[in-house]
């Protein structure tokens, strides 16, 4: 007796729907977790108070903040403490150059807000080279 063999006509196929779903979930996760904002960054060079030798710069902007919160830019004092006046004075000295070294020399009793105002104005103007100067302690004062 001759038996007839059944022929398998079922097509073999791969279901790609779960793989596409996983890839879409990964793509959505990456899009939601990625930050597209570029925040402005300021390079702050904070020298140690142990005695880092000071560098001489040919062109620089030095902002001195005294204990009363008054600002002095390269030896010329400002009449007000407003951010706009400070910004205009720094722009006038810089002449559109944002690569100049900006040095902040603040009195030890100066308000933190007055020093941060200078840093904020410098950051808004686009300065990236900012130094905060410190005083080297004397030998007997340690």
What is the extent of the structural domain holding 98? Answer: 59-135
Residue 80 lies in a domain: yes
What is the C-alpha to C-alpha distance for residues 124 and 130, in angstroms, rounded to an integer?
A: 13
Question: What's the total number of domains in the chain?
Answer: 1
CATH number of the CATH domain containing 118: 3.30.420.270
- pLDDT computed for residue 95 by the predictor: 85
Full pLDDT tens readout for the chain, 142 residues = 677 777 666 777 888 899 999 999 999 998 888 876 655 554 444 444 555 555 666 678 888 888 888 888 888 888 888 888 888 988 888 888 888 888 888 887 788 888 899 999 988 888 888 888 766 555 544 4
Contacts of 140 (CB under 8 A, 6+ apart): none
Contacts of 122 (CB under 8 A, 6+ apart): 42, 90, 102, 130
- pLDDT computed for residue 44 by the predictor: 43
- pLDDT computed for residue 57 by the predictor: 64
What is the C-alpha to C-alpha distance for residues 73 and 97, in angstroms, rounded to an integer?
A: 16
Residue 105 lies in a domain: yes
Residue 111 lies in a domain: yes
- pLDDT computed for residue 42 by the predictor: 45
Strand, coil or helix: 5:
coil
Contact at 8 Å (CB) between 35 and 76? no
Residue 52 lies in a domain: no
Residue 74 lies in a domain: yes
- pLDDT computed for residue 21 by the predictor: 93
Strand, coil or helix: 131:
strand
- pLDDT computed for residue 19 by the predictor: 92
- pLDDT computed for residue 23 by the predictor: 94
Do you know the residue count of the chain?
Answer: 142
Q: DSSP secondary-structure letter at 105? A: E
Closest listed residue to residue 127, CA positions, set 39, 56, 44: 44
């Amino acid at each position: 007796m001759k038996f007839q063999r059944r022929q398998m006509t079922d097509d073999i196929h791969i279901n790609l729907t779960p793989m596409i779903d996983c890839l879409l979930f990964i793509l959505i996760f990456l899009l939601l977790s990625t930050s597209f904002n570029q925040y402005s960054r300021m390079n702050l060079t904070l020298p140690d108070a142990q005695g880092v030798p000071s560098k001489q710069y040919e062109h620089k902007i030095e902002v001195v903040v005294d204990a009363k919160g008054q600002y002095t830019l390269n030896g010329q004092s400002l009449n007000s403490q407003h951010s706009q006046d400070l910004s205009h004075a720094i722009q006038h000295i810089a002449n559109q150059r944002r690569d100049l070294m900006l040095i902040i020399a603040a009195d030890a009793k100066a308000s933190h807000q007055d020093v941060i105002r200078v840093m904020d104005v410098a950051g808004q103007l686009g300065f990236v080279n900012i130094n905060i100067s410190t005083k080297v302690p004397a030998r007997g004062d340690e």
